[in-house]
Structure 1
């Protein structure tokens, strides 16, 4: 039933959303660029004249431990977090980009009109066995919920005229049609959710790596000076450790919150689909 249509939908779902294999490397380049040319801009540091017009302190000849952030410059402070910072920046940008993508996709999946009103309207039409009116409402609603309901109602009309199946077989066929339509829509809703889930964990681990590297530098500075350790190198190591910790925890927290939010939205859409699907089957059993 509607095989060609289903095949077209499958192709459409495969093409929907951002491709992580392409997007994430691009975001990494952007993260490195932000680290070098925004955070690492000489204006964020003390004694800008010693950088001799370099676009980034990373491209200057000044030794890293002699580069000190300007007073009150948060960008300069974050830059001093070291080589792990670009990775954490990439994670943060990735979370933001894929969260925006999920918000747009899920908003489109809900349809053009209020979803609760759509469910109420469809159930009203079903109670009156007004299938054509319900189909017209699906065309106006669109979105994933509208697509699944329309597929179920289309199957409903076909089975009404089918004289080869008994009532029980028709109900099984109707249920299967709704399940297949739902299965076709779910990949679009859940695509890239794993990225948010993964970054919620990995960001903390990478931050821990940056923290460990910073503490290694701090203890190396503590031991290198014998009785009088290098205070500048010691503070640099501790600062690097804390900056990485803060960035990682912040990124992880945002990723986890957004992942849970989008998961609840998907569950809500799935519930609406199941609710209307049950109403369609009950209506068919009552009027046929």
Structure 2
């Protein structure tokens, strides 16, 4: 077997038969030189970052979305009986996003409904910021990975054509093709990271939107509870 400078190796066959090449993905990914390898490492790190953020956020949101049975009914009973301190203690024991928002409203009971609503909305903004933590990193990874891949391809094409320009005589199509597919490896790697990261981001955003709608529903029901005659 005779090794070539390109990531695909030639196999010498008996006379009269065309030479065949063995496709090696690893060789192609690592054949871009120093610049190409640096870009590949950056894309790989972005992929790890996207995977970590997705798993961490998904588990966090799944835990935060666990519902406590009869939560609002119990709060309603405490409020109707005038047991505000017991209701606050109950919210602290539940320790969910909607429980923290309702706890904030319970501590404002006695004030106008507008003040209670504003306090709960402020707490809600804090909860939403917790939901959306690090989602910007995931969105950045989804956009940056393909861009890095394109950058690697452009640099690889420039280097490939520069080498071809130094070749005297006719340029072999095989030499041109090897330079092109080597340069395009970074684009493939960037898309392989960027596409899943994009779907990961949208999955988490959808989950956050559902949770925001749920806690807003709980807040509205709690405000309706306060308007009931005791």
Higher relative contact order (CA 8 A, sep 6+): 2
Written as runs of structure 1 = structure 2, the 5 A alignment for 1:64-79 is: 66=5, 68=7, 71-79=22-30
Matched, 1:96 2:35: no
- Structure ranking higher in helix proportion: 1
Evaluate the alpha carbon distance shift between residue 275 and residue 121 of structure 1 in structure 2; reply closer, same or farther with a 3 A threshold. Answer: same
Unaligned 5+ runs, structure 1:
1-45, 48-64, 163-168
When the two structures are superposed, what TM-score results if normalisation uses the length of structure 1? 0.62
Offset of 1:108 from its aligned partner?
3.2
> Paired residue for 2:183?
241
Offset of 1:237 from its aligned partner?
2.2
Q: C-alpha root-mean-square deviation of aligned residues, in Å? A: 2.9
Written as runs of structure 1 = structure 2, the 5 A alignment for 1:1-288 is: 66=5, 68=7, 71-81=22-32, 82-83=36-37, 84-110=39-65, 114-115=66-67, 118=68, 121-125=70-74, 128=77, 129=80, 138-139=91-92, 141-152=94-105, 154-155=106-107, 159=109, 162=110, 169-229=111-171, 233-288=175-230
Task: Please tell me whether the aligned partners of residues 145 and 190 of structure 2 are also in contact (alpha carbons under 8 angstroms).
Answer: yes
Task: Please tell me whether the aligned partners of residues 207 and 247 of structure 1 are also in contact (alpha carbons under 8 angstroms).
Answer: yes
133-142 vs 218-227, which moves further: 133-142
Distance (whole Å) between structure 1 residues aligned to residue 62 and residue 165 of structure 2: 57
When the two structures are superposed, what TM-score results if normalisation uses the length of structure 2? 0.76
- Greater C-alpha Rg: 2
Residues 152-200 of structure 1: CA deviation (Å, up to 9, x unaligned): 3x32xx62xx4xxxxxx52112112211221222222112111111222
